[in-house]
Amino acid sequence: MRGRGSKLAACLAMAAGVLAAAPRAVLQPFDISIAIPYFIGEGRGKTGFRATDGELARWALEAWQRTSGNAIRFESAPESSALVRLYWAEPTDGQYGEMQPVLVGGRVGAAVYIRPDMTSLGPDIARRAARDPLFRESIVYLTCVHELGHALGLSHTRDYADIMYYFGYGGDIPNYFGRYRAELRSRADIPKVSGLSSADAMRLKALYRIGP
């Protein structure tokens, strides 16, 4: 019979497998001389979705906009014309978070898929998320930020401090989300705490040639 440590290791290995898959493509930077149109899909009826999750997705977009010094701007648009589209995925859909290129009126955009269900991350994380709503929201929010980073053209990094960190390199997954959770006293703090590192900001500005 396996002990508690073995069970925890198995749960973390499963979570790492879910979170570590590399994106299918790295996009070219958007034209930021105009606002980037975005669309956030309706998640009602999706497993694990909460009505406030759409706000977490918007806050994730705003985090990248603030980090760019508002050089990158997002504006809400109909799905048909949005270059960045965020959808809520079911557990049966595959990755916990994923970005795929889409063609929109002859331009390359990004479809981001976020799974709001916690059970795929293993029972320990799922139980903690059930006990602590801010831990659950930290996971959903940071996953949105990470995948939207891919939509903006950023690739994975090896630095555990980065939002673009790749779990395939290892690392303590509960701690990764828990350190962000520790910075929050209430849900209202989420739009004030971006979750991005200084290196994330530097890479974004370099990619888009944004001055200091």
Count up the domains in the chain and report the number. Answer: 1
- Burial of 199 per CB tally in 10 Å (0-12, 13-18, 19+): middle
Kindly report the pTM of this predicted structure.
Answer: 0.89
Q: Confirm if 154 and 164 have CB atoms less than 8 A apart.
A: yes
Is 89 part of any domain? yes
Is 114 part of any domain? yes
**Beta strands 107-114; 84-88: pairing state:** parallel
Instruction: Identify the pLDDT of residue 139.
Output: 96
Q: What is the CATH number of the domain that holds 88?
A: 3.40.390.10
Instruction: Identify the pLDDT of residue 74.
Output: 98
Is 66 part of any domain? yes
Instruction: Identify the pLDDT of residue 201.
Output: 98
Is 212 part of any domain? no
Helices (H) and strands (E) in the chain, counts: 6, 5
Q: Confirm if 166 and 149 have CB atoms less than 8 A apart.
A: no
Domain that holds residue 103: 4-207
| List of residues 6+ apart from 131 with CB closer than 8 A | none
Query: What's the rounded Cα separation, in Å, for the pair 89 and 100?
Result: 13
Query: What's the rounded Cα separation, in Å, for the pair 106 and 119?
Result: 38
Instruction: Identify the pLDDT of residue 95.
Output: 67
Is 77 part of any domain? yes
Query: What's the rounded Cα separation, in Å, for the pair 114 and 152?
Result: 16
Is 198 part of any domain? yes
Instruction: Identify the pLDDT of residue 22.
Output: 46
Phi-psi label, residue 190: left if phi above 0, alpha if psi -120 to 50, beta otherwise = alpha
Instruction: Identify the pLDDT of residue 38.
Output: 98
Q: Helices marked H in the chain — which ranges?
A: 4-19, 53-67, 123-131, 133-151, 173-181, 198-207
The pLDDT tens digits of the residues spanning 99-142 come to 999 999 999 999 999 999 998 888 999 999 999 999 999 999 99
Structure tokens at 99: 């970005």
Structure tokens at 207: 């990619």
Query: What's the rounded Cα separation, in Å, for the pair 124 and 143?
Result: 18
Query: What's the rounded Cα separation, in Å, for the pair 82 and 38?
Result: 5
Q: pLDDT digit of tens for each residue in the chain (212 aa)?
A: 334 443 434 444 444 444 444 444 668 899 999 999 999 999 999 999 999 999 999 999 999 999 999 999 999 999 999 999 999 999 887 667 899 999 999 999 999 999 999 988 889 999 999 999 999 999 999 999 999 999 999 999 999 999 999 988 888 889 999 999 999 999 999 999 999 999 999 999 999 999 87
Q: Is the dihedral of CA 114, 116, 120, 125 positive or negative?
A: positive
Q: Identify residue 170 by its one-letter amino acid code.
A: G
